[in-house]
A and B are shown apart, each in its own frame.
Chain A
Amino acid sequence: MISSKTIKKNLFQIYALTEKNIKLNLRFKYQVIISYITPILSILMPLIILEQFFQFSERFNFSVWNENNYLVFQFMAYQVLLLKRVIQEFPTQLRIEKFWKTLPIIIIAPFNRFNLLLGIFFTQLILISIPFIIFSILCYIYYPVSFLTVIFIIIIFFLIALIFSGIGLLIGIFAISNENVWKALSFIVSLIFWVSCVTYPFDIFPEFIQQIINLNPLYYIFDLLRLAWIYNDVLLTITLLSQNFIILIAFSIILPCLGVVIFNLIYKKYGIVGY
């Protein structure tokens, strides 16, 4: 049984890590602002292509995506790409700690590695909150949904962020113990994102790529996220996309745990290498 003292102690440590990380990030504010703009560039081209596509063939659609809702598709793509910062921030943060040599002091501190994960997780959620809320409002203006759906979408985003944290920690440990593996893993993540239909609808891809996309769990998760908005009915979404929902829940539990376990194993075996 975990005592309230232990919970309080852990929350205090997560708060300390978050506070410190935010201060470090906001030391050079333009870096943060530019990181808000970069995902816009990623959705700009698909936005133009889809816009032109629907303009020339008004009756055509890609699955549920048509000229009336494709902006929601792209705005949510922006939010997912913004959330991707969580993955990137783990190796970045841990590498900074590696070169400042502050990591050993954190490692020997009496705290759980989950706190390290949650510290970076909350830092990024707070840092991306402003553009995230703006794009959520844009989605709402363009395609209004019920309050319950908004809550449901927020929960899905939260779980996606947890999945990304797990992936981030997994990559992050290699950023301090083996930078070759770190780069290779980062490339694999980019590849997985490319075949996750984050910026283009599934139907736009050729059949052989669609077969690969079907193997990608992220595709099901992002699909659930956007369809939840379009269906605007939580029960219907869960019923129709139960498989997607199970994948989301399973991965949001497995990946953070796996991240922590791998982090501990690799750190124990190799330690900090390369400075």
Chain B
Amino acid sequence: MGLLDIKIMTDKIIETFDLSKIYQLKGRKKEIRALDDVNISINKGDIFGFLGPNGAGKTTMIQILTTILQPTSGYALIDGYNILKKPKKAKSKVSLMLESDMLYYRITAYDNLKFFCKIYNVSNYDQKIRDMTKAFGLEKWLNQYVEKFSSGMKMKLALLRTLLLDRDIMFLDEPTLGLDVKSKNFIIEILRDVKKTIFLTSHDMGVVEKLCNRVAFINNGKILKIGTKEDIQQLKQTEVKINLDIHFEKRKLKSELKNQDFINEIIDSKNGFLLELKGRDNYKDLLSILVKYDITGINEQKESLEESFLKII
């Protein structure tokens, strides 16, 4: 029996060691490294945000950690169990919610939940289902076919299922995707109160900010940065991009703005300029200049989380 065949005693609930996944592209000799020597460690009870643009390797990472996919090289420990040597033990620790709702549309919500509780050996499931559907506001829909549910209700039901399975680690891939603000806040509240380790992917800065205590950013399969919640807060203090529309005196305004040290960059656009302020505090200075001109439009260009991350890295 090798060292990796047994449970490794560690305070980390998830640890990866040079985890790589390579996909061969069809019709080409080229290959894609979906994960490239990824090393992360997550403590028990962490709500860990895993962020990155589309195709960065987020879902591949979740699929490998939940043993759905095999890594090309490297390995991971789930609560001390090697996913390659002890996949059954590792699996027994996780519950999963991928991007889609992963539900049987042709049977009722209750039948869906009952089925998953049974195959995951959840005891006293009937009462648990009734209690949780009540908490999720789905009790009236319990005996309806899932095909009649709205997208938000399906996502709620999928999350409810993940919670019902009562595993130590919850892997959630975009759990708030396509949800309205009310549903999103509801899910954030629920997840905040869950006393479990959560591995979460999301594009939503608000969700990540409200929920996660640690964040990793991945791009092209490589971990670019791992940070704490404070690092996320720091992102808010970076530059501000503003679209400015002006009909007259465009050149005059441009030359005046060029002389201001609180402006990083001015790019011509169709109806005016795209400005980059050094910070949000410089808004006041900018407005004192703009009042002299006939400005027809002004709006702030919000950066995505990925853009912000890419900038600071």
Contact = CB atoms under 8 A, between A and B. Distances in A.
A100 B66 contact: no
A111 B118 CA distance: 11
B105 A100 contact: yes
Main SS at interface, chain A: helix
B92 interface: yes
Interface in A20-47: 20, 23-24, 27-28
Interface string A96-130: 00001110111111110000000000000000000
Interface in B56-115: 63, 66-70, 88, 91-92, 94, 96, 98, 100, 102-107, 111, 114-115
A20 B104 contact: yes
Interface string B151-183: 000000000000000000000000000000000
B100 A101 contact: yes
Contact of A16 (B105, B107, B119): B119
A205 interface: no
B121 interface: yes
B175 to A, nearest CB: 15
Interface in B100-152: 100, 102-107, 111, 114-116, 118-121, 145
Contacts of A23: 106-107, 111
Contacts, number: 70
A17 B111 CA distance: 11
Interface residues of A, number: 26
Nearest to B146: A100
User: For A13, A20, A24, A106, which residue has the most chain B Cβ atoms within 10 angstroms?
Assistant: A20
A59 interface: no
Given A16-B115, A16-B119, A17-B119, A102 B107 contact: no
B102 A101 contact: yes
A100 B88 contact: no
Nearest to A106: B119
A271 B34 CA distance: 15
A13 B114 CA distance: 11
A15 interface: yes
B78 to A, nearest CB: 11
A12 interface: yes
B91 A102 contact: no
B98 A104 contact: yes
Nearest to A97: B104
Contacts of A13: 118-119, 121
B69 A108 contact: no
A156 B70 CA distance: 40
A9 interface: yes
A108 B121 contact: no
A262 B20 CA distance: 25
A110 B107 contact: no
B111 A110 contact: no
A13 B70 CA distance: 25
Interface string A145-186: 000000000000000000000000000000000000000000
A67 interface: no
Contact of A268 (B63, B70, B116): B70
A19 interface: yes
B107 A105 contact: no
A111 to B, nearest CB: 6
Contacts of A17: 115, 119
16 contacts: A13-B118, A16-B119, A19-B115, A20-B104, A27-B107, A28-B106, A100-B102, A100-B104, A104-B63, A104-B66, A104-B96, A104-B102, A105-B116, A108-B68, A108-B91, A109-B116
Interface of B: 63, 66-70, 88, 91-92, 94, 96, 98, 100, 102-107, 111, 114-116, 118-121, 145
Given A20-B115, A102-B104, A110-B91, 10 more contacts: A16-B118, A100-B102, A101-B100, A102-B102, A102-B103, A104-B68, A105-B96, A108-B67, A108-B96, A110-B120
